Amino acid sequence: MLTEEQRRDLLAASLAARARSHSPYSGYAVGAAILDEQGKIHAGANIENAAYPQGWCAEATALGAMVMAGGKRALAVLVSGPGPEVITPCGGCRQKLREFAGPGLAVLAADPGGIRAEWTLDQLLPHSFGPEHLEK
């Protein structure tokens, strides 16, 4: 269960990251902020590329920041888009998040006006394949 302070901090970090998005091709700026098991927040934005398929999502940038800072597990992620349509993590990002989180991962969606929706990872990626499948 996230505290109000954690929700507020995640929203602020995600929107600040979104402001740094490099998305000149789609014009669709996205931010992501992840709360790790140590209580630290790691953020990132989508970074597009003139060779279109080489761009990547905000969640990937934030996950990279978490891993490089020593974070091991994601407890919550807040993804922010422009609105008004509620943003939702793409399929590839759901799987990337799964690597560092269990089914209970809180996934929050927001726009500059605030938090708009909330799910668990299990709702977005049911019957998921994860690291446990490769345990011998």
Minimum distance, C-beta of residue 48 to ligand THU, in the bound complex (Å): 5
- Does position 30 interact with ligand THU (CB under 6 A)? The reply is yes
- 89 near ligand THU (CB under 6 A): yes
Angle at 32 between CA 27 and CA 35, to 5 degrees: 175
Stretch that binds ligand THU, among 51-59, 98-106, 112-120, 125-133 (CB under 6 A): 51-59
Dist CA 28 CA 45 (whole Å): 11
Query: Per CB under 6 A, does 48 bind ligand THU?
Result: yes
Q: Report which residue type is found at 82.
A: P
Q: Which of 13, 41, 57, 65 binds ligand THU (CB under 6 A)?
A: 57
Residue among 82, 90, 116, 120 that touches ligand THU (CB under 6 A): 90
59 among known catalytic residues: yes
Sign of torsion over alpha carbons 106, 66, 85, 20: positive
Please tell me the distance from the alpha carbon of residue 112 to that of residue 37, in angstroms, as a whole number: 26
As given in the structure block, the two tokens for residue 17 are 């990251």
